[in-house]
Structure 1
Amino acid sequence: MKRALISVYKKNENLFQFASFLSKKGYQIISTDGTYQFLIKKGLTNVIEVSKVTSFPEILDGRVKTIHPNIYGGILANRSIEKHIQSIRYHNIHLIDIILINFYPFSDKLNHKKTCHSLVEFIDIGGPSILRAAAKNFHYVTSIVDENDCELVKNEIENNGEPSLGLRKKLAGKVFNFTSYYDSTISKYFLEFENDNFPIYLNSPYKKKMNLRYGENPHQKAAYYINTFHNGSMKNFHQLHGKELSFNNLRDIDIAWKIISQFSEPACCIVKHSTPCGVALGTNIMEAFQKAYYSDTVSSFGGVMAVNVSITEKLSEEINKIFLEVIISTKYEKKILNILKRKKNIRIIKINNPVSDKLECVQIDGGILVQETDYLLNNKEKFQIVTKRKISDQEMKSLIFAQKVVKYVKSNAIVVAKNTQTLGISGGQTNRIWAARQAIERALEKNKKGLVLVSDAFFPFRDVVDEAFRSGGIHVILQPGGSIRDEESIKACNDYGMAMVFTGKRYFKH
């Protein structure tokens, strides 16, 4: 008689239906105590307890149930090796053909803020061990870790008498995929106590959230995975309307949300191709939107827009007059949603979590780079005014605003702003003077007075100061400092009657 070992934490009707199917097909069901009691109460009779197979009771509050040669021998025996068959017969061990196990929910319990003492009881030992054994012996044993696969197994048994080798191999792959994820979650938990962000082996736990419309280009397939250990704004969001999301959409949503999340005042940010093209604060969200959008209406076309407060009816009507790919906010009133949904394809995103990423990764060919995130910004008390000309409180406010934007512009990055509105943004240039000229030129198209300029890195030459002075509208510059030619830039500012502030911190973004 064929045997199936079923031992699950989550017991439901699907489990019973699968066990009942196997029983009708002549399988004897073996189960641990909890699963056994569940199946018996549901009316299944062809089921025996593991302790009957091992001739040993469950001990240590259930920590030891299935760890026994009578179980592992029945799973691991290579049925093409006569010596293996003779061995299990000699020891009166019966072969086991199907394994269905789901684990103690360690990941789920992390969110319940349990103590380490109680959480360790949700580290499954027997389940992963048995499934790994079954997956190793996939030539003869079917291993199931995802209950959704029970239907596939049922169909093949119904049609072919047993699961095919191809299916067994696929399910074995899923087992090792899941056990590695499960162990990486536990590893992360323990390493957190040591504040070890860079362990010898990198095995962060990620789970697929969705398939994406496509990757960076339509011919590239893509999917989105969430980190099940750490929280983050992009871990818990909901799409309320519109077309499927693409790879590029998610990149832009992430940047737009990080930028507006830095501000307590009503803020609006529009991102295009991973670069902010318009950012502004306002006394209300309508004012913030108008300032952000009209700072660069050309680049905003087809952009991703995020706001850090609720969208008003007036703003929703304005949004419908322009072309945006994505809108992001924390909440939407039903009336506002109905207005926005008049546009069939616009993607409406609700983000529930604050920004909380600890690490960020960049994949390169053959490896992965990992670093701490750069979300926190300098306090203004650390700023150093290095010129004779001082700055006003309003100018300082404008500098801090623009610096929060320049962090998310590709290096070399320059942001020109007035008050709390960006007017010129340029980045991704191979030298700083090109970025400065572009940002200044764009700003002067909209305003010629009272501007500030912020750079993500130091000035290797005084040419940016000279360019800013020639504009006639820039009187204050902020940069990290640290160049061997800093004195040249400082002298240029003093000669021109301009102010320069050093921050001591660079914000490269590659």
Structure 2
Amino acid sequence: MPAAPDFPPAPDKIQIRRALISVSDKTGLVEAARTLADMGVELVSTGGTRKAIADAGLAVKDISELTGFPEMMDGRVKTLHPIVHGGLLGVRDAPEHKAAMDAHGIGAIDLVYVNLYPFESTVASGADYETAVENIDIGGPAMIRSAAKNHGYVAVCTEPADLQEVLDALKAAGATSFELRKRLAARAYARTAAYDAAISGWFAAQLGDDAPRRMSIAGELAQTMRYGENPHQKAAFYRFPNPRTGVATARQLQGKELSYNNINDTDAAFELIAEFAPEAGPACAIIKHANPCGVATGASLKEAYERALACDPTSAFGGIVALNSKLDAATAEQVLEVFTEVVIAPDADEDAVALFRKKKNVRLLVTGGLPDPLQPGVTFKSVSGGFLVQSRDDARLAPADLKVVTKRAPTDAEVRDMLFAFTVAKHVKSNAIVYAKAGQTLGVGAGQMNRKDSARIAALRAADFGLDLTGSACASEAFFPFADGLIQAADAGCTAVIQPGGSVRDEEVIAAADERGLAMVFTGVRVFRH
């Protein structure tokens, strides 16, 4: 690796005499350029950026006036030149660098303000392959990286907020400090890393490569938090470029700042409720510690909430409420009768919002819609020394997907109940058992080390709240390894069972179901959630 050269220490204060500006997002450009010009800074720019500055009546040099070369190859080559990069990388106080700059007429560039071609938004718009490739910036990242490397002498900005910090420093002290330039350099490298991550991720998708040799994850800071899962842990929330509809895109209408656990649980709630299309009718999910306390449909949103609450009103205390359609005042009134941490819905009417204002600490989030549960994507899970990646669980079942394995076939009502229960079980921590009937969960058993205990706990919870499991459907998100879990469910009153199948003891489990007159179907699909 290159040895560190014997450079003199970088000075603390650097005056800005020349600035190179080239931006695709021109928000605040003219105002910032005018401020720099008023401070006597020479402005150098390219293409549309130069035109916008010049049209505002400000003196600005075209980059070709520095390099002596015209912009060429449809704009692909304009800043990739020794005059530009020498001006960015030259160590002003190093005699050899200074001599080279003098010999070749390379002037120092003290400030770079570059934001990149909009690759991420171009891809998100559904642009074709050629358009996406054309929006891969080359000169921009090169200038950013050069300026960031030489942060001892150069201030580098990649977004308006960065430039504002520089302008504030110039107004206050007439110069940038080394500490500021170091912070800006760190942000600049993070920006180019995120940009490259977006490009490499897009290429992997184009090639259908689910496991590329290297994978980068990039996010933008959305929120710092007082603490993480526990008070002794530090935490922050990052948003992906072009995120999936949900917590990351939600608008908070009121309430306290969201905590780490709030965001985690609200995401679980909204992903579950997204399984229920609004056109199929109102639905509500109540979540506690990322597990559903109750899920239900109803003739109205208010009824859906009341039926979901009935499944486990004790656990719902301090929970998360997710709704699949616009929150109305009648539903809001019912929700606010129980202490609730967060309510998330596609929208909320004015009367509902007014009711929430009376409970100023309750967080109300609106998302503008529901995510498509079939939308492709990946999920990440950190492990010590690395992370796991898998495709999003988009398993969905229809009646035609079910294989009847018992002597008795289920009725149409039982099929509906089984599919509802299995949809909910997909969002319950394994091992999971869900009892449901008529579009309502009656008992949920989550996260147990064996399936029999999950079946027993779900039945006990139903009994605690006076819910009759007679004639209910029972969903198991993975196969029954022994007949004991199924027998537990049958003894609780269920008459129909839905499970993936695939156990070496399937015949034993089927025989136990037949003995008790149950209808049982296999899905062939497992929906573990750890």
In 1: Cα distance, 2:440 partner to 2:145 partner? 57
- Map 1:173-322 onto structure 2 (within 5 A): 173-212=186-225, 214-229=227-242, 231-263=244-276, 264-322=280-338
The match for 2:512 is 492
Residue equivalent to 1:480: 500
The correspondence of residues 64-75 of structure 1 with structure 2, limited to 5 A, is 64-75=77-88
Q: 1:10 aligns with which of 25, 46, 54?
A: 25
* Farther off after superposition, 34-43 or 120-129: 34-43
Matches within 5 A, 1:319-330: 319-330=335-346
Matched, 1:465 2:486: yes
| Structure 1 position 344, deviation (Å) | 1.4
Partners in 2 of 1:293 and 1:243 — Cα distance? 23
Equivalent residue runs for 1:63-462 within 5 Å: 63-212=76-225, 214-229=227-242, 231-263=244-276, 264-355=280-371, 356=375, 358-445=377-464, 446-462=467-483
The 10-residue stretch of structure 1 (293-302 or 91-100) with the greater mean CA deviation from structure 2 = 91-100
Aligned-residue offset at 1:21: 4.0
Letter of the 1:403 counterpart: F
Task: Please report how far the alpha carbon of residue 199 of structure 1 lies from its aligned counterpart in structure 2 after TM superposition.
Answer: 1.7
* RMSD between aligned residues: 2.2
Conserved? CA contact 1:185–1:229, under 8 Å: no
Query: Aligned pair count?
Result: 507
Name the amino acid aligned to 2:383. Answer: I
Shift of the 441–177 alpha-carbon distance from structure 1 to 2, 3 Å rule, reads same
Runs of 4+ in 1 over 6 A off after TM superposition: none
> 5+ residue gaps in structure 1?
none
- How far off its partner does 1:497 sit? 2.3
- The amino acid that maps onto 2:345 is S
C-alpha deviation, 1:478, in angstroms: 1.9
Q: Distance in 2 between matches of 1:368 and 1:443?
A: 38
- For residues 180 and 406 of structure 2, the distance between their equivalents in structure 1, rounded to whole angstroms, comes to 72
Distance 1:156 1:288, change over 3 A: closer
Aligned residue in 2 for 1:44: 58
8 A Cα contact 2:283 2:298, kept in partner: yes
Q: Does the 8 A contact of 2:329 with 2:349 survive in 1?
A: no
Residue 502 of structure 1: aligned partner:
522
| Distance in structure 1 (CA, Å) of the matches to 2:461 and 2:510 | 25
CA gap of 1:151–1:425, structure 2 versus 1, over 3 A, is same
Deviates more, 1:158-167 or 1:346-355: 158-167
Is contact 2:201–2:215 with CA below 8 Å preserved after alignment? no
**Kindly tell me: are residues 470 and 40 of structure 1, through their superposed partners in 2, closer, same or farther at Cα, counting changes over 3 Å?**
closer
The CA deviation at 1:63 is 2.1
Amino acid at match of 1:484: V
1:159 Cα deviation (Å)?
4.6
Letter of the aligned partner of 1:51 in structure 2?
A: S
What one-letter code is carried by the residue in structure 2 that aligns with 1:154?
L
Query: Is the 1:412–1:435 Cα contact (8 Å) retained in structure 2?
Result: yes
Shift of 1:470: 3.1
- SS of 2:360's partner is coil
Instruction: Report how far residue 183 of structure 1 moved.
Output: 1.9
Query: 2:359 aligns to what SS in structure 1?
Result: coil
Q: Using a 3 Å threshold, how does the CA distance of structure 1 residues 163 and 419 change in structure 2: closer, same or farther?
A: same
How far apart, CA to CA, are the structure 2 residues paired with 1:340 and 1:409? 29
Give 1:428 shift: 1.0
| Corresponding residue number in structure 1 for 2:13 | none
CA distance in 2, matches of 1:412, 1:441: 16
What residue identity is the alignment partner of 1:31?
S
Displacement, 1:439? 0.8
TM superposition shift of 1:166: 1.5
3-state DSSP of counterpart to 1:474: coil
Partner Cα distance (1:462, 1:129) in 2: 64
The one-letter code matched in structure 1 to 2:17 is K
- Matching residue within 29, 32, 51 for 2:46: 32
Offset of residue 68 of structure 1: 1.1
Superposed displacement of residue 494, structure 1: 2.0
Q: Structure 1, residues 292-342: CA drift from partner, whole Å, max 9, x if none?
A: 111111011111111212333322222222211112222222122212322
Contact 2:421-2:435 within 8 A present in 1 as well = yes
Would the aligned equivalents of 1:213 and 1:244 in 2 still touch at CA under 8 Å?
no
Contact 2:297 2:304 in 1 (8 A): yes
Deviation at 1:493, TM superposition (A): 1.8
Distance 1:495 1:330 in 2: 46
SS in 2 for 1:477: strand
- Aligned to 1:61, which of 74, 77, 83? 74
Distance 1:309 1:29 in 2: 52
Displacement of 1:466: 2.6
The aligned residue for residue 33 of structure 2 is 19
Distance 1:198 1:160 in 2: 50
Deviations 1:230-262 (A, max 9, x none): 533334221112111112222222222222222
Structure 1 residues 358, 119: CA separation in 2 closer, same or farther (over 3 Å shift)?
closer
Conserved? CA contact 2:442–2:462, under 8 Å: yes
Q: Give the CA deviation at 1:398.
A: 0.6
**What is the CA–CA distance in structure 2 between the aligned matches of 1:238 and 1:123, rounded to whole Å?**
31
Q: Is the 8 A contact 1:462 1:492 kept in 2?
A: yes
Q: Is the partner of 2:153 in helix, strand or coil? A: coil
Structure 1 residue 371 displacement after superposition = 0.4
For the 8 Å contact 1:260–1:308, the answer to whether it is kept is: yes
Contact 1:417 1:443 in 2 (8 A): no
Give the structure-1-normalised TM-score.
0.93
Taking the aligned partners of 1:461 and 1:6, their CA distance within structure 2 comes to 69
Residues in 2 aligned to 1:201 and 1:419: alpha-carbon distance in whole angstroms = 48
- In structure 2, the CA distance between the partners of 1:85 and 1:244, relative to structure 1 (3 Å rule), is same
The whole-number CA distance in structure 2 between the counterparts of 1:180 and 1:24 is: 34
Instruction: Tell me the amino acid that sits aligned with residue 318 of structure 2.
Output: G
